[in-house]
Amino acid sequence: MKNALIVGSGLSGAAAARALAEKGYRVQVIEKLPHIGGNAYDYTEEGILLHKYGPHIYHTNFPAVHEFLSRFTEWTPYAHKVVARIDGKFVPVPFNLTSLETLFPKEEADYIKVVLSAEYGRDAKVPVFELRAHKNDVIRKFGDYVFEKIFYHYTVKQWGRKPEALNPDILKRVPVYTGYADGYFTDLFQYMPVKGFTTMTENMLDHANIEVILNEDALLLFKLRDGKILFNGKEYPGAPLIYTGCIDALFGFKYGALAYRTLRFEFERHGRTGFQPAAVVNYPNEHDYTRITEFTKFTCPPQKHTVIMKEYPGEYADGDIPYYPIETPDNLEIHAKYGAEVAGYKNLIPLGRLGRYKYINMDVAVKDALAVAEKL
């Protein structure tokens, strides 16, 4: 039987483990936390499913990923909605015609609607950067308004950097809807796992060929030296090592530390059924937190109380959890050096959001993991 070692039991590690186990590999998964699931970890308290590391909503356009995950969970349909608090009012995000009518005087809103409709038609999804670069003054000013009120300050809070310092793809993804649709995602599949992401991951890892070891920092177990992987001091025999932790830590920060954003979460229990108008409310222009999540608004049956979570971003320091890779040109340059180093190790496969230093959603984490297993 062939062996494989996987560092990390998040969705990348778990999906790779399952796919390899089904190909006949004996897989060991090493996880430094006391639980599986990585960032997608959730747990139930007083009947409410709470997401410990920030709200996770499943959405994908990849049928193969959906088919794979559906083997490990049943789903509840869930159409995610987000609102932002702007100038004292709650408006849908992405910004749509309801947001426009709520924030602008009626005559001005009507005029902007006519101009947008003539240019893009109804129900189009237009990137905000395209509006800001438009030759028509009305469209350009409207684009600037949305950028300033919804995006600019939120980005500065979230990333600790101005938008121009970040990967331009981030801005390319911010849309405005020229209709009244208020769904946050437009993917083909939009669901929540009935028993949560942890149970789904648990089912994925439940295979006779998989052993999961918790509370173990893999970096204390193996070393990389001159193209060789040393495991407990001995050369690791030609088996794949799939690594989903931080790539800079793996190489002892030899080309410098990569930057990450961390998050601090404050949970609050309130003795009433509802706290806010949507599952997630963004606060782009006020408070130190970026958003408040209300967990009972996901797929929870009615409760007498509710639980909310405020999310405070900050710069990562040693000991924090590295939530988001910061894809600035400087960091990507450092990352490329680690990437070149990886090429010198035949059986080393970095994977996932930390291994590849790329912000990815859960579905892409699973898609990449399945592709790696397929290739092996």
**Residue 37 φ/ψ region, left for φ over 0, alpha for ψ in the -120 to 50 degree band, beta for the rest:** left
Tokens of 32: 């430094």
Closest of 143, 136, 43, 164 to residue 95, by C-alpha = 143
Q: How far apart are CA 58 and CA 78, in angstroms?
A: 9
- The answer to whether the CB of 59 falls within 8 A of the CB of 183 is no
How far apart are CB 31 and ligand FAD at their closest, in Å? 5
Judged by beta carbon, residue 7 or residue 97, the one nearer ligand FAD is 7
One of 3, 43, 54, 320 touching ligand FAD (CB under 6 A): 54
Residue among 4, 5, 12, 191 that touches ligand FAD (CB under 6 A): 12
Chain positions 205 to 264 lying near ligand FAD, rule: CB under 6 A, are 217-219, 244-245, 263
Instruction: Write down the H helix ranges in the chain.
Output: 11-22, 63-69, 97-103, 106-120, 128-132, 137-146, 153-159, 168-172, 197-205, 247-250, 329-342, 352-355, 362-375
What's the min distance (Å) between Cβ of 116 and ligand FAD? 29
Q: Which stretch binds ligand FAD (CB under 6 A): 2-10, 84-92, 166-174, 227-235?
A: 2-10
Footprint of ligand FAD on 100-129 (CB under 6 A) = none
Cβ-contact 323, 187 below 8 angstroms: no
Least CB distance to ligand FAD at residue 40 (A):
5
Subset of residues 312 to 341 that bind ligand FAD, contact rule: CB under 6 A: 323
How many whole angstroms from its chain centre is CA 31?
A: 19
User: Smallest distance from the beta carbon of 95 to ligand FAD, in angstroms?
Assistant: 20
Between 104 and 324, whose beta carbon lies closer to ligand FAD? Answer: 324
Among 84, 210, 365, 373, binds ligand FAD (CB under 6 A): 365
- For position 57 contacting ligand FAD by CB under 6 A, the verdict is yes
When asked if residue 193 is in the footprint of ligand FAD (CB under 6 A), the reply is: no
Report d(CA 38, CA 12) in Å as an integer.
9
Q: In what order do the strands lie in the sheet with 222-225?
A: 222-225, 228-231, 234-235
One of 16, 25, 27, 39 touching ligand FAD (CB under 6 A): 39
Distance CA 237, CA 1 (A): 13
**Rounded CA separation 104/112 (Å):** 10
Binding-site size, ligand FAD (CB under 6 A): 33
Beta-bridged to residue 193, according to DSSP, are 75
Q: Work out how close the CB of 216 gets to ligand FAD at its nearest, in angstroms, rounded to a whole number.
A: 6
Closer Cβ to ligand FAD, 135 or 375, answer by number: 375
Closer to ligand FAD by Cβ: residue 143 or 193: 193
> Which residues of the chain form contacts with ligand FAD (CB under 6 A)?
7-13, 30-33, 38-40, 54-57, 217-219, 244-245, 263, 323, 352-354, 360-363, 365
